[in-house]
Amino acid sequence: MDNLRLFLFAGLAAVLFLMWQAWQQDYAPKPSERAPPVSEQKATPTQADLPSAPLSTADERTAGAAPAALPEIGNTFESAHRVKVQTDLLAIEIDTLGGDLRQVDLLSYPVSLQEPDQPFRLLDDTDTKVFVAQSGLLSRTDAPTHFSTFEAEKDRYVLPDGADTLEVPLTWTGPDGTKVTKVYTFRRNSYLVEVKHIIENNAAAPWTGRMYGQLQRNEPASGGMRFVYTYTGGVLHTAEEKYDKVDFEDMHSSPVARTGTGGWAAMIQHYFAAAWIPDQQDSNLYHAKSKEGGLYAVDVVTPLVTVPEGATGELKLKIYVGPKEQPRLEAAAPGLELAVDYGILTILAQPIFWLLTKIHGVVGNWGWAIIILTILIKLAFFHLSATSYKSMANMRRLQPRLMALKERYGDDRAKLNQAMMELYKKEKINPLGGCLPIVVQIPVFIALYWVLLESVELRQAPFMFWIHDLATHDPFFVLPLLMGASMVIQQRLNPAPMDPIQQKVMMVLPIVFTVFFLFFPSGLVLYWFVNNTLSIAQQWVITRRIAPGT
């Protein structure tokens, strides 16, 4: 077995795995009882649409009193009045019905290079896309939920020049005189928003309740990069159960309800995320479930608070709504940086990403940062690669003698294998000697793959010439073709398999890989091409020394 074949088959297996993930995402059969999409069904929410939270015992389910006429959740969310808010990073619409965050535009992230003035909309409540952030209070007595109507002082709020914070108050008054002021606090250069409920208890009895924050969305239509799968769905994180992904299928078949210390509840997607974050010292309630109308929700419910009659109390949560920039996520909440989902190779991927950002800080171009990082990784594995290439070169040197043995023994496989093993022993060559170095390197290569795939920093990042976005495929397919050519050159530096069928398979593999890489993000293809080029140079030098003239 030659080492190139092992590496190619490992790579092919990785590509096939990605294809299988994409197929599962797009075409795998869904349960027949699953709710139809939002655009196909209208549903009227009930008390079950509110998060459940015990007031005294684990079995006691409570929620705030429901309004007399509940809004419908159908093709669009019902609306009362929109309050527009703009900071340096966000353009937001808050609906006075529920005080929900209904639309959030990320001003620093255009939809595409072709629409540089159109910001990416993360939260929305339209026909095709439902992704909203809701919050409210849960109490046996009067309390506003996301079905209640608030009053706003102004229609528009803008973060003033020179100011660091902007507060947007919404008020609600209950039949018993209890007044609740819902205050959104936005900060300059921040995607983290504080949501606070100030309760003025004007009733004749203590007010007892909790606050909840809920993210509701529909399952997005299939799309994105072909053959490249990234996770979209819910995540619950607590000190006890870290980064538990609850996808839409899980929410439908196995709703989640748990208690945990600190943590957060998020809906994440490629490059962007929204997450409700409670006080990290409290024991909070978390839920993830499907709802009527083809919707899915994750929520967090805070601990119970009592406000005496005539007194004022406060309940608050924070919500992060923005790009998956690791420094911002890490500063927002412990563990939130895991929303940049590197999978089981996080322990390798995070140092690689750190090094990549440091290189970018020096060179100022993500394409060149990828090239330099690839060179550094290649240098780190220089000696391991040399061991592998020496084994290949020795196998190449023995190729004429191996072919002679094959001609001598013909189809007698037993005698041929025995003669080959004797030859390897005589020449002190281990035909599998190069396998271990390659196996050791594969986790690092896969970790780098996920770093390049998950990093929002590469979104719409230019390289040079015709490459204007390292996160999308090469528009002229130059890099994939160069990568395919580099694979052909690598094959010619290695001993050809003696089996004619294997020879044909090896000839086809570069073509297959090239076709797959046509649709890969150009940043990934750039890494593979540079890595192959460096491997060719190292392998050519070693082969010329060990097996000159072959």
Ramachandran region, residue 472 (left: φ > 0; alpha: ψ -120 to 50; beta: rest):
beta
Burial class (CB in 10 A: 0-12, 13-18, 19+), 542: buried
pLDDT at residue 320, as a whole number: 98
Q: Which domains does the chain have, with CATH numbers?
A: 3-19+351-546 (no CATH), 31-42+61-341 (2.70.98.90)
Judge whether 301 and 53 are in contact, CB under 8 Å: yes
pLDDT at residue 398, as a whole number: 78
Percent of the chain clearing pLDDT 90 (strictly above): 57
pLDDT at residue 509, as a whole number: 83
- The whole-number average pLDDT for the span 318-336 is 97
Question: Which residues, including other chains, have CB under 8 Å from residue 487's CB and lie 6 or more apart?
Answer: 8, 509, 510, 513, 514, 532
**Can you give the pTM of this predicted structure?**
0.82
Task: Give the pair of three-digit tokens for residue 74.
Answer: 């159908």
Of the candidate ranges 236-240, 522-526, 537-541, the one whose mean pLDDT is the lowest: 537-541
Say if residue 10's pLDDT is above 80: no
Judge whether 233 and 279 are in contact, CB under 8 Å: no
C-alpha span between 225 and 18 (Å, rounded): 11
Summary mean pLDDT of the chain: 83
- The whole-number average pLDDT for the span 450-457 is 92
pLDDT at residue 387, as a whole number: 75
**pLDDT tens-place string over residues 191-212:** 999 999 999 999 999 999 999 9
C-alpha span between 104 and 124 (Å, rounded): 7
Chain centroid, CA 173 distance in Å: 41
Q: What angle do CA 460, 18, 246 make, to 5 degrees?
A: 85
Question: 368, 352, 360, 374: which is closest to 534 by C-alpha?
Answer: 374
**pLDDT tens-place string over residues 349-364:** 999 999 999 999 999 9
Is the model more confident about 30 or about 289? 289
Beta strand residue intervals within 292-389, DSSP E: 295-301, 305-307, 312-323
pLDDT at residue 27, as a whole number: 40
End-to-end CA distance of the chain: 19
pLDDT at residue 547, as a whole number: 57
C-alpha span between 298 and 310 (Å, rounded): 34
Task: Give the pair of three-digit tokens for residue 326.
Answer: 């690791």
Question: 362, 544, 521, 534: which is closest to 452 by C-alpha?
Answer: 521
DSSP code at position 142: S
Which of 78-82, 428-432, 441-445, 503-507 has maximum average pLDDT?
A: 78-82
Judge whether 415 and 317 are in contact, CB under 8 Å: no
- The whole-number average pLDDT for the span 63-74 is 34
Say if residue 454's pLDDT is above 70: yes
pLDDT at residue 5, as a whole number: 45
pLDDT at residue 420, as a whole number: 81
415: pLDDT confidence band, cut at 50, 70 and 90? Answer: confident
Say if residue 237's pLDDT is above 90: yes
498: pLDDT confidence band, cut at 50, 70 and 90? Answer: low
Say if residue 309's pLDDT is above 60: yes
pLDDT at residue 301, as a whole number: 96
Handedness of CA 265, 267, 268, 273 (dihedral sign): negative
Q: Specify the residue for token string 């990568």.
A: 483
